Structure 1
Amino acid sequence: MPGPLNGRTALVTGATGGLGSAIARRLASDGATVALAHFGDDRTAAELAASLPAVVSLSGDLRDTEVVRSLCRQTHEALGPIDILVSNAGVYPRRRWTETTPDHWDDALATNLTSHYLLAHELTPAMTAVGWGRIITIGSVLAMAGRHDLSGYISAKAGLEGLTRALARELGPSGITANCVAPGSIRVPAEDTVVDDAEAMTARQLARQCVQRRGRPEDVAAAVAFLATDDAGFITGQTLRVDGGWILG
């Protein structure tokens, strides 16, 4: 059966993580050809690629301008022009404000903000040439809510929302939309490495939400998939919070 993204090519960064892999699977199921970008997680990337049709897997540090150029060029050579950029790669460095150094700060912004700029800057000329494109960044509700020990991460995610709005304004005349999907508390395996008591954290999170269940990667993937379609062509410069109503709490 034809899908809403038939004939489209998508690049998903951070593709081996819980969110990235769900997004890649959803876009592929909707008909897109998908390129998986990751950083050193070759085994997981190979397993994911083997489960998807018409896919290419590429590894590289997206904080490096030349690596970004090479990755985009390889994707273009293998699959053709990239129509959809899902800029998902990032890190979640927890560090007390009093222990944050300029190097910690620079690294958080390079990974969670500058890499997104580099990708969009590299890919938008081709989108402009054909008069169609989708840029979907993955932010966080923490950009609005705030949380201790995450100053660099939260600052970068707030900047990413601003970058997304700026791109919407600049690229809209060329047929390109730019939107941000901001997840709330989504249950992914990486969560187990950044919290001491997952059960207590879950209880606290549910108390904040309107919807009384943990978010799933598939919830985020569904939002991304919609924003990638022609049906979302009049939506741009927006932040869609996929958080079960957390931000209302």
Structure 2
Amino acid sequence: MPSPLNSHIALVTGAAGGIGSAIARRLAAQGAAVIIAHLSELQPASDLAEHITRSGGTAISLEADLRDRDAVRRLRRQAHEQLGPIDILVSNAGVYPRAPWTETTLSRWNDALATNLTSHYLLARELTPGMAVGRWGRVITIGSVLAKAGRHDLAGYISAKAGLEGFTRALARELGASGITANCVAPGSIRVPAEDAVVADPEAMTTRQLARQCIQRRGHPDDVAAAVAFLATDDAGFITGQTLRIDGGWILG
């Protein structure tokens, strides 16, 4: 049977590790040619592209600072030259800057919004005109359940993720007539290696998290990747402007 994403070209940002790399692998397994976008993670991104290629897929890695409009434009041009026009955007890259509210300076606030919100605008602004020409496209932003749940020490991050959900709904209204859907996937507590660097007691954190969830296990990057891959297919062509929470039943409704 044909793969559901054959002939499509997907750009996955923040794809060198964690959730992003799982998304890139899943889209490639479903037939998409994948651009692995990263910032200063050349070796992991190259290793992932090589893994996908060895597995029979098509992938390249490209470096770009997504906060820079000119860098985003170069990224699109390089991708087009090497693979063709992008028609699936998975806007995943972000940062998780923690600081108490009393220490959230204007500089920290602006940095959080630049990476976690403005970069998504720059990507969509650059790529959706080409999708409109082809009368088919998918914009999938990666948000966070914290936009709904809230948490201390993350005012800038949570504000940006809440804005990202609103931005995604706005894109759905703007782009639906051009054959483009826009949806947000909001992960909950997903177990990734980077967690160990920011959590003092991972076992205690897991115990607290499971008490919040209906499903009694931690989420994995592949859980998020499966949702993204579905939204990228034609089977999801009548779904737009939605936020899909992948959180084991942390936030209900």
TM-score interval, smaller chain: over 0.9
5+ long unaligned stretches in structure 1: none
The corresponding residue for 1:154 is: 158
Number of residues of Structure 1 aligned to a counterpart in Structure 2: 249
The corresponding residue for 1:6 is: 6
Answer whether contact 2:10 2:90 (CA < 8 A) is retained: yes
TM-score by length of 2: 0.97
The corresponding residue for 2:25 is: 25
TM-score by length of 1: 0.99
The corresponding residue for 1:140 is: 144
Written as runs of structure 1 = structure 2, the 5 A alignment for 1:161-240 is 161-240=165-244
> Which one-letter code corresponds to 1:240 in the other structure?
L
> Which one-letter code corresponds to 1:220 in the other structure?
V
The CA distance in 2 between the partners of 1:65 and 1:105, in whole Å, is 19
The CA distance in 2 between the partners of 1:168 and 1:73, in whole Å, is 25
| 3-state SS, counterpart of residue 124 of structure 1 | helix
Written as runs of structure 1 = structure 2, the 5 A alignment for 1:237-248 is 237-248=241-252
The corresponding residue for 1:129 is: 133
The CA distance in 2 between the partners of 1:61 and 1:135, in whole Å, is 19
| 1:81 and 2:85 aligned | yes
CA displacement at 1:195 relative to structure 2: 1.2
Answer whether contact 1:209 1:248 (CA < 8 A) is retained: no
Give identity over the alignment, percent. Answer: 76
The corresponding residue for 2:47 is: 47
Answer whether contact 2:46 2:60 (CA < 8 A) is retained: no
Q: 4+ residue runs of structure 1 moved beyond 3 angstroms?
A: none
CA displacement at 1:237 relative to structure 2: 0.1
> Which one-letter code corresponds to 1:217 in the other structure?
P
CA RMSD between the two structures = 0.9
| 3-state SS, counterpart of residue 144 of structure 1 | helix
5+ long unaligned stretches in structure 2: none
